[in-house]
Amino acid sequence: DAGITQSPRHKVTETGTPVTLRCHQTENHRYMYWYRQDPGHGLRLIHYSYGVKDTDKGEVSDGYSVSRSKTEDFLLTLESATSSQTSVYFCAISEQGVNYEQYFGPGTRLTVT
């Protein structure tokens, strides 16, 4: 398995609080991604990074921000959590980009009450 860890693995938080999810890789891959998985919607890209301090928005980026200060770490922050952000969040990495497969972390189950 690719060396990808996510923390925390489970979190329950209240509406309006900020939440940060962490993705850590040991593969030295350039590209990193955050997705959310919801029933009936498959995987939707939130944000991605193509290098240290280089990030861009995905299709469902509203209410989320990211940071990447080191190659190995990619942080996802919910600025003010809402119930609609209850989901399973997956981090993924890719070596080169467009024609390379992605490797996924184990996921974080986030519940916003």
- Judged by CB under 8 A, the residue of 68, 105, 110, 112 near another protein is 105
Burial class for 45, CB neighbours closer than 10 Å (0-12, 13-18, 19+) = middle
Residue 41 binds another protein (CB under 8 A) = yes
Query: In the complex with another protein, which residue's Cβ is closer, 8 or 97?
Result: 97
Half-sphere exposure at residue 58, Cβ-oriented, CA atoms within 13 angstroms: 19
Closest approach, Cβ 84 to another protein, in A, equals 18
Other Cβ atoms less than 10 A from the Cβ of 91: the count is: 26
The binding site for another protein (CB under 8 A) comprises 4, 31, 33, 35, 40-45, 48-50, 56, 58, 90, 92, 94, 96-107
